[in-house]
Chain A
Amino acid sequence: MYAYDEIDRTLVNERVSEFRDQVKRRLSGELTEDEFKLLRLQNGVYLQLHAYMFRVAIPYGTLATSQLRALAHVARKYDRGYGHFTTRQNIQFNWIKLAELPDALADLAKVGIHAMQTSGNNMRNVTSDQWAGVAPGEIEDPRIWSELIRQHTTLHPEFSFLPRKFKIAITASDHDRAAIKIHDIGLRLVRNEKNETGFEVLVGGGLGRTPFIAKTIKHFVHGRDILSYIEAILRVYNQYGRRDNIYKARIKILVHELGIEKFSREVEEEWQHIRNSSLQIDDEVIEDIRSRFTYPAYEKLPHMPDELRQAAADPEFEAWRKSSVAPHKVQGYSIVTISLKPIGKPPGDATAEQMDALADLADKYSFGEIRVGHEQNLALPHVAKRDLPALWKALDKLGLATPNVNLITDIIACPGLDYCSLANARSIPIAQELSRRFANHELANLIGRLHINISGCINACGHHHVGHIGILGVEKNGEEVYQITIGGRADENAALGTLIGPGVKFDEVADVIEDVVEAYLALRERPDELFMDTVKRLGVEPFKERVYATR
């Protein structure tokens, strides 16, 4: 966990006081909505279909149990008893009253949580690998660098009025769990030939109306130079970004229009002016941040404890273990993913009771720490293997032991037209129906790794472009219509999916996805050829033929 200092606490508390005054002035009519909108957006407050929506940041996806309990408290006291974990390591509350928001923010501030930079045209919450610091083979904990960037960019005036929102994600593992290639800037921790830590810097990724996979702009930027290099990118973006057209304002458009070579030259030129400035990071600064991350006092434990050996005889436990438990860098420990995708339920939602109970379990089994992933699941990062059977039983009682991580029912979905004022079509009911169709665990395992992503509009909060199967809801002549893509992926080999044909109606979506899956099962060369590999080998045509031959 990262321990905030007095500067952080003062900043967060001052922000609450400031917003309390702004809300008071808005409610009295002293501020118009035009004047207030920018201020509320800077505090994570949107206006959605039914009410205000309040988005809270979970920097680099790390939560202490006190913080998770505070989120549960907000859900219970100020909202309708649940929250929705998003695809960017945030949590959203859907029914908050503006008049009560300052109190909710004050309650969160007590445990160091805030909503700064969760909306608006600024540098958003810096995201990272939810397995950071515990994944085997990691270069180093990417949260140290995430925290450095968070400190530098939070309320930074130069990054507070950008042409559009700006998102950074960081990974330190070969396998990218942070989806860095679909971010404005993606950072991958690497080591050079001198064994120095630095970053491969990618730029210009993003989804939405015009999706692009990020391109590498520099193969190695030394860690001490990363702030100046990011700032150089931001300055070029600030100078040339299209403020005149919201649809062309993201950096991905600029990179595309200038071309990566020209963009890179512009950045390099800017960087040479500032790289030896105060933006160069002293080792002491990094060491100070590093020292504020505390790690558990791990015990020396056996690789295969008796408790685990005995529990292996229970097929239900084994199904969960195979799905949800991943290797840890320390022998005798595991990383446990907690599926927030129970069959037939909205993806990413958790009730206040579940959050409180999870906090208790994290205290008991994971050194008081919880992680949030962009796949809308949670994780306990430090679970002793001997505790896995007991943890599984406890999670099962909470409805949080669905053994479907990375399987077809582990669906990523945006809130869609049920909540969102931008949406054209519903996402959650589609996810629920698909979840029910593929509820059979044996079938889901037979299919293997397969990610379905659903967005209710072209803004792509459900990351449909990079779903192995992507579903995009649009509106056509007053009806919800869904376009299906296949072949996308959000990992280190990120790719955009290909449209398989004309859109289909709401009631037909699940049938179409069943057809796609049946085609895959029939076409794959062997049982361990994953869906993505079959699509890569054969292209979309056989799937298209299967889906549209009878429609």
Chain B
Amino acid sequence: MTSPLEQKKIKIAGPSVVTANRTWDGIVVYRTAAKSWSADLSEAAIVRNSDEAKALLAESVADDVGAVGPYIAPVQVGDDGKVEPGNLREHIRRTGVTIGQPAQV
């Protein structure tokens, strides 16, 4: 597998985070400023330019045991500082399927 760092030049258009899936159970996680992973988007480290994004991604990729497949994803940061996913895919990853699940969770 090609490292995400080698895949393409990292270019971001706005505030972004690094997200991945936790290795042991696969749940969606976000890289935090404390060099850890959190399931809570509000705890994610926000990057605002390509150099910051590249550094955060490199650090995330290095933690191969903690999480799988890290990549940079766009977010929206409100005036109140609240962080929301920047596209539908990330919205679904954060909040779950947009349909009712057949069985009660």
- Give which listed residue, B69, B87, B96, contacts A33 with CB less than 8 A: B69
CB of A418 within 8 A of CB of B102, answer: no
Taking the complex as formed, is B7 at the interface, i.e. its CB lies under 8 A from any CB of chain A? no
Contacts of A346 in B (CB 8 A): 99, 102
Cα distance, A271 to B103, chains bound together (Å): 51
- From 47 to 65 in chain B, residues with beta carbon under 8 angstroms from any chain A beta carbon are 64-65
Residues of A within 8 A of B92 (CB): 49, 417-418
Q: How far is the CA of A420 from the CA of B26 in the complex (A)?
A: 13
B99 with A82: CB separation less than 8 A: no
Interface residues in A368-404 by Cβ distance below 8 A to B read: none
A80 touching B65, Cβ below 8 Å: no
Q: Could you tell me the distance between the alpha carbons of A349 and B102 in the complex, rounded to whole angstroms?
A: 7
Q: Say if the beta carbon of A52 comes within 8 Å of chain B.
A: yes
Interface range for A: 35 or more
Complex Cα distance A115/B68, Å? 21
Chain A residues within an 8 Å CB radius of B23: 26-27, 33, 98
Is the beta-carbon distance between A98 and B25 smaller than 8 angstroms?
yes
Give the residues in chain B near A80, CB-CB below 8 Å. 101, 103, 105
Contacts of B1 in A (CB 8 A): 33-34, 37
- Given A82-B103, A478-B87, decide whether A32 and B64 contact each other with a Cβ distance below 8 A: yes
For the complex, give the distance between the alpha carbons of A230 and B69 in Å. Answer: 36
In the bound assembly, the distance between CA atoms of A32 and B26 in angstroms comes to 15
The verdict on A330 contacting chain B, using a C-beta distance below 8 Å, is: no
Q: A98 and B24: CB pair below 8 A?
A: yes
B96 / chain A contacts, CB cutoff of 8 Å: 50
Q: Check A81 against B89 for contact (C-beta < 8 Å).
A: no
Nearest chain A residue, comparing its CB with the CB of B1 = A34
Are B24 and A29 interface neighbours, CB within 8 A?
Answer: no
Tell me if A409 is interfacial: C-beta within 8 Å of chain B.
Answer: no
Q: Interface on chain B toward A: helix, strand, loop, or mixed SS?
A: loop
Chain B residue with Cβ nearest A23: B24
Whole-angstrom CA separation of A49 from B95 in the bound complex: 11
CB of B101, distance to nearest CB on chain A (Å): 6
Q: List, in ascending order, chain B residues with CB within 8 A of A426's CB.
A: 98
In the complex, how many residue pairs between chain A and chain B have their CB atoms under 8 Å apart? 84
Contact check, B64 vs A33: say whether CB atoms are below 8 A apart: yes
CB contact between B26 and one of A47, A350, A429, A432 (< 8 Å): that residue: A47
> Can you name the residue of chain B whose Cβ is closest to the Cβ of A34?
B1
Contacts of B26 in A (CB 8 A): 47, 50-52, 95-98
Nearest CB to that of A423 among chain B residues?
B89
Chain A residue with the shortest CB-CB distance to B101: A80
Shortest distance between the CB of A353 and any CB in chain B (Å): 8
Q: Please, what's the 1-or-0 string for A399-434, where 1 marks a CB less than 8 Å from any CB in chain B? A: 000000000000000000111000000101100100
Of B64, B97, B104, which contacts A81 at CB under 8 A?
Answer: B104
B57 CB to nearest chain A CB (Å): 15
Given the complex of chains A and B, what is the CA–CA distance between A456 and B26 in angstroms?
A: 22
Residue interface mask B75-105, A partner, CB < 8 A = 1: 0000000000001110011001111011111
Is there contact, CB below 8 Å, between B103 and A81? Answer: yes
Chain A residues with Cβ below 8 Å from B99 are 346, 418, 428-429, 432
What's the Cα separation between A90 and B98 when bound, in Å? 24
CB neighbours of B101 from chain A (8 A): 80, 82
Residues of B within 8 A of A33 (CB): 1, 23, 64, 68-69
A20 contacts the other chain (Cβ, under 8 Å)?
Answer: no
Minimum CB distance partner of B89 in chain A: A417
Given A37-B1, A417-B92, A418-B97, do A50 and B27 touch, yes or no (CB 8 Å)? Answer: yes
B38 at interface (Cβ–Cβ under 8 A)?
Answer: no
User: Knowing A33-B64, A352-B103, A429-B99 touch, does A51 contact B25 (C-beta < 8 A)?
Assistant: yes
Q: Is the CB of A97 within 8 A of B88?
A: no
Task: Among B24, B26, B99, find the residue whose CB has the most chain A CB atoms closer than 10 A.
Answer: B26
Near B by CB (< 8 A), chain A positions 314-341 give none
- Measured in the bound complex, the distance between the Cα atoms of B64 and A27 in whole Å is 10
The verdict on B28 contacting chain A, using a C-beta distance below 8 Å, is yes
Q: Kindly supply a per-residue 1/0 record for chain A positions 41-55, scoring 1 wherever the CB is within 8 Å of any chain B CB and 0 otherwise.
A: 000000101111000
- 26 CB < 8 A contacts A-B: A27-B23, A29-B64, A33-B23, A34-B1, A37-B1, A49-B89, A49-B93, A50-B27, A50-B28, A52-B21, A75-B103, A80-B103, A80-B105, A81-B103, A82-B102, A97-B25, A97-B26, A98-B25, A349-B102, A350-B102, A353-B103, A417-B88, A418-B98, A418-B99, A428-B97, A432-B99
Q: A27-B65, A97-B25, A429-B98 are in contact. List 5 more A-B contacts (CB 8 A).
A: A27-B23, A34-B1, A50-B97, A80-B101, A346-B102
* A-B CB proximity, top 9 nearest: A81-B103, A51-B26, A97-B25, A52-B26, A29-B65, A418-B97, A82-B102, A351-B103, A82-B103
